[in-house]
């Protein structure tokens, strides 16, 4: 997914899953949720990685796998 790491966190347009992940991240990182508003998603992922280490919640694992997905369309192959 191109440039998803550059998207910024905006609670007004965020999904419930993202809001929940951000609330948990803020709590575990010892930050206020308001401190995370406007941060790049890539930076939030890095914060999550540093905060949770090997115990990374599913939200961040999935977000990272999507962020690293290739946007190049797959070949059609034999139809």
Splitting the chain (79 residues) into consecutive groups of 10 residues, what average pLDDT does each group show?
80 96 98 97 96 95 82 67
DSSP string, 20-78: HHHHHHHHHHT--HHHHTT-BHHHHHHHHHHHHGGG--HHHHHHHHHHTS--SPPP---
42 in any annotated domain:
yes
pLDDT score of 70? 65
pLDDT at 47: 98
- Asked if residue 72 is part of any domain, the answer here is no
Q: Per the domain annotation, does 75 fall within a domain?
A: no
The answer to whether 9 and 38 are in contact (CB under 8 A) is: yes
Q: What is the pLDDT of residue 3?
A: 75
Is 28 within a domain? yes
Domains contained in the chain, number: 1
Residue 71, pLDDT score? 64
- Is 14 a member of any domain? yes
26: left (phi over 0), alpha (psi -120 to 50) or beta: alpha
11 occurs within a structural domain? yes
Q: What is the domain extent for residue 43?
A: 4-67
pTM, two decimal places: 0.82
């Amino acid at each position: 997914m191109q440039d998803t790491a550059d998207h910024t966190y905006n609670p007004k347009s965020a999904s419930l899953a993202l809001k929940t992940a951000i609330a948990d991240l803020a709590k575990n990182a010892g930050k206020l949720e308001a401190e995370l508003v406007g941060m790049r998603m890539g930076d939030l992922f890095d914060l999550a990685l540093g905060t949770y280490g090997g115990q990374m919640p599913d939200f961040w694992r999935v977000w990272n796998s999507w962020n690293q997905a290739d946007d190049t369309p797959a070949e059609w192959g034999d139809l």
